[in-house]
Amino acid sequence: MTLPLRKALFLSATLLGPSLSAVSGACAAPHAKQTGAQTGHSVPPKHSFPSARPVLHEAAPHRPARTPAPQNLQSHNAETIAVTARRTDFAFAAAQHSPDADTRLTADRLTQRGVVTLRDLERVAPNLTIQSINGTASTNFYLRGVGFNDFTMNNIPTVMTYFDDVPFAFSTMSSGLMFDLADATVTPGPVGTTHGQSDTGGEVRLRTADPTSTLHYGVSQDIASYARSRSEAYISGPIAKGLDFRLAGQIRQGGGWQTDPQNGAHLGDADSYALRGKLRWHSDDNRTTILLSGHFVQDNSQVVTSQAVHRLIGTAALPHLDQTQAEWSSRSQFDKLIGRPEGLKPSEHNQFWGWDLHMDHDFGFAKVTSVTAFETERQGEYTDQDGTSRSEADTYRTISANAFTQELRLGSSNPDSRLQWVVGAFYQRSRMKQRFFFDYTDYAARGYMMATSFSMNQESTSEFGHISYRLPHNITLFAGLLHEIDDRSLPGLTSEIFGGRTRSFHGESTAAAQFAGQVGVSWQATKNTLVYYKMSKGFKPGGFSANNTQIQAQLDPFGPETVLTYELGFKSDPIPNVLRLNGAAFYNDFHNQQVVGTVLIPNYGPLSEITNVPKSESWGFEGTIELHPVRHVFVTQNIGWQRGNYQDFLNVNRAATNAAYAKTGVWRAVNSNFAGVDNGQPKLTLNGQAEWRQALTPGLGFDIGPDWSYRGSQAIAVGGTGFYRLPPYFLLGAHATLRPSSGKWEVTVYASNLLNRSFFESGGMATTTYFYIPGPPRFIGGRVSYGF
């Protein structure tokens, strides 16, 4: 049926109630940029209260987080709207026809599951592990078991992070930007033939809300246990004809849950704020769009500190701590050396800012897109890595880095054409300076403070192309190719012992040029069933381990990593709007896989070093089940399983070397070939949620249900067992939400780690101890939001 616009919207709101908000963003922002992140892994619309009523056509909502249905909409191009009576309980319907294993998430699902940092994404995607480095804002990614612990964060990550099509050369640059999101996509496997930068593990793409052509504003306040507070606000609307803006901000405070049993000191409070602004101009015919964005983040938060689990060197007893306890120390001499206040707690002192410029023009036969970006980070991180009140491995790190990227691509503009294609080029230039300060005063074998300083220069270019063609009988062939050249250098490194000698090491450089690509076929077997097969080659450049350097050989660059991935998958809606099943199986054949191995320095001890495994492999599967079995019940379950092993890897056996030292008191390397040894990544990951949705009145709805996640054990050293391996854990959460059909407000109460389980998120080695980073205890909180 066709009605005048306002009358149609009024009638739809009356008939559909809250379901209108699932598509209101498409009407509110007709010029908003449409990306591939909108077509995928489904989540039911937030305001879909079960009732006997029609639902607007299209399941993938495109709207800012918590933005209600707009009022008094005006169309620039038409005065009518078609309303189709079709029930669509699962979101991202169009992506069911895309041959990929992507996990796609709406802003509502991210909010509902409490995804406020990058690390939280592992609770909503299969086969994904994201871990903090020593409890700090710096993160490491593992996807399908592909990844490594880059403790110096000066190398290209195995899994690339994108914000609004901008790849972040150093994942720490994304800290503090997880607010005012539109959606998120997790892509496993080799990438780089359609956009951005080549990588072997995959990518995490986050898209923030764009400006709207009608006025919107909203605020939300989240308060929880341990005086944790999260505040967000946004305003969006027109400035002039064709010119729209959006301004959003976030403040995070409190939430520290660790205490020192020696003196009752408190640790872990957040203290950060962030701002993001966007300005968008579009031509009258909507063929040209220019979007300028900028952001600023200041983070002075305290960090979660480690718990020592094993003493490698020395005889001092380790502290006996419960889940919420930790010990730390900061000597006044060390505070003075690093220029920080006396009594410094483990904490961040970080500042991030950047800008990006998107320009699109549709020529009719093709669309050209340019993405220019500049990102910076200024970090100051203090961590107590020995996990005791002694100064055996206290560390302060400063980082000054920036990255410039430019992408230009040209592709088909008609999504219904049998032929789809894109060609493009990508350029990146990054610069970094780091300085590590170490306090070893209470470590008898050293008894000094020292610093390691280095800088790094990097530049890369790549060209890529991807093409697909739909044959008769719904068969589509696709292929892509990438060529990348990467050059990076470490001009020099200095290691200084204060009150002692200074060592200077000569510079190193490394360069690589490689091809990567993809070829595959998909078949739309039925209207609701897609099967596909593809082979992908991924490439990741080499780099440097540049931490506590004692000998020149430690600065030898590690080589590039390549992987050949075979993937077989399917997507299906066997019972439309009742059951959705998606799954994929994969096999990874690695050459020179980059992992953190061990090097032994004579008369010094073992140190971690990024190295190459000549030959290794991994295999597994992931799947998603979405179920709407009865009127009020909605269930989502992600399943990830992977196994892998090294096929040829000669390296220092850390466990055997440490055991030999414990017996003899002399450091002697014990080398082993780890052929056949498990790669140490979690074999099983599970996460999901169930929800009961009830319409209390014609204009008021109620949601309630649990969520859960499980991660298997993970090695923190090659071949790790015992304390060299993080134990598995299971976490349970729950929420209850009350909201009107207008979507203007909502009230939620929630709990995370409902059973108050003690668990550990990551781990590592300091000079004298092995440590784990504990996860947070139970949090109970409430969230209130309002928008117009």
H-run or E-run covering 125: none
What is the mean pLDDT of the segment spanning 724-750? 95
Q: Domain residues for 666?
A: 202-787
Is 236 part of a structural domain of the chain? yes
Q: Give the predicted TM-score (pTM) of the model.
A: 0.87
| 475 token code pair | 């068969």
- What pLDDT digit, counting tens, does each position of 337-375 carry? 999 999 999 999 999 999 999 999 999 999 999 999 999
Strand, helix or coil for residue 28: helix
CA triplet 664, 670, 672: central angle to 5 degrees? 155
Question: In sequence order, which residues have a C-beta less than 8 Å from that of residue 149 and are 6 or more positions away?
Answer: 131, 133, 140, 596, 608, 764
Q: Given a cut of 70, is residue 615 above it in pLDDT?
A: yes
**Given this model, what pLDDT does residue 133 score?**
87
Alpha-carbon distance 772 to 762, whole Å?
6
How many Cβ atoms from other residues are within 10 Å of residue 322's Cβ? 11
Taking CA atoms, 689 is separated from 124, 130, 170, 706, 732, in Å, by: 9, 20, 32, 6, 10
Specify the pLDDT at position 45. 41
Q: How far apart are CA 547 and CA 505, in angstroms?
A: 13
Give the pLDDT of residue 89.
65
Q: What share of the chain is helix, strand, coil (3-state, %, to 5)?
A: 10, 55, 35
Amino acid, single-letter form, for residue 653? N
- pLDDT tens per residue, range 496-512: 999 999 999 999 999 99
Position 586 in a domain: yes
Q: What is the mean pLDDT of residues 728-754?
A: 96
Residue 258 pLDDT > 90, yes or no? Answer: yes
Q: Which residues pair with 61 in a beta bridge?
A: none
Residue 61 within a domain: no
Q: Which of 84-88, 284-288, 751-755 has the lowest mean pLDDT?
A: 84-88
Q: Which two tokens stand for residue 282?
A: 């579009």
pLDDT for position 27: 34
Q: How confident is residue 52, by pLDDT bands cut at 50, 70 and 90?
A: very low
Residue 182 maps to a domain: no
User: Is residue 393's pLDDT more than 50?
Assistant: yes
Report if residue 10 sits inside a domain: no
Region 445-451: mean pLDDT is 92
* Per-residue pLDDT at 753: 97
Give pLDDT, residue 603.
79
Position 123 in a domain: no
pLDDT of residue 36: 38
Cα gap 181→307, rounded to integer Å: 34
Confidence class for position 552, pLDDT limits 50, 70, 90:
confident
Tokens at residue 76, please?
Answer: 């620039």
Per-residue pLDDT tens over the stretch 643-682: 999 999 999 998 899 888 888 888 889 999 999 999 999 9
- For residue range 100-116, what is the model confidence (pLDDT) as tens digits? 999 999 999 999 899 99
CA distance 476 to 560: 32
Position 466 scores a pLDDT of 98
Q: Which of 66-75, 344-353, 574-583, 766-775 has the lowest mean pLDDT?
A: 66-75
Q: How far apart are CA 729 and CA 129, in angstroms?
A: 13
Q: How far apart are CA 712 and CA 661, in angstroms?
A: 31
Q: State pLDDT tens for residues 456-500.
A: 999 999 999 999 999 999 999 999 999 999 999 999 899 999 999
pLDDT of the residue at 313: 87
Task: Locate all alpha helices (DSSP H) within 63-186, ordered by sequence.
Answer: 107-112
Mean pLDDT of the chain: 88
Residue with tokens 């922002």: 29
Q: What is the CATH number of the domain that holds 487?
A: 2.40.170.20
Confidence band (pLDDT; 50, 70, 90) for 544? very high
Alpha-carbon torsion, ordered 30, 32, 35, 40, to 10 deg: -60
**Angle of CA points 547, 548, 551, to nearest 5°:** 110
- 192-251 pLDDT per residue, tens: 999 999 999 999 999 999 999 999 999 999 999 999 999 999 999 999 999 999 999 999
Q: Give the SS3 label for residue 118.
A: helix
Beta bridge partners of 448: none
Query: Residue 662: which residues within 8 A CB-CB, separation 6 or more?
Result: none
784 — pLDDT class (breaks 50, 70, 90)? very high
Q: What is the pLDDT of residue 750?
A: 97
Which amino acid makes up residue 728? P
Least confident interval from 275-289, 392-406, 547-561, 606-620 = 547-561
Q: How many CB atoms lie within 10 A of CB 187?
A: 25
26 pLDDT higher than 50: no
pLDDT computed for residue 256 by the predictor: 97
Secondary structure, 3-state, 236-265: EEEEECCEEEEEEEEEEEECCCEECCCCCC
Beta bridge pairs of residue 684: 641
CA angle centred on 211, ends 208 and 212, rounded to 5°: 125
Pairing of strands 166-168, 650-652: unpaired
Q: Does pLDDT of 54 surpass 90?
A: no
What is the total count of domains within the chain? 1
pLDDT-above-70 percentage for the chain: 89
Q: Which residue has the higher pLDDT, 293 or 34?
A: 293
Per-residue pLDDT tens over the stretch 151-179: 888 888 899 999 999 999 888 899 999 99
Q: In the numeric block, which tokens belong to residue 666?
A: 């002399």
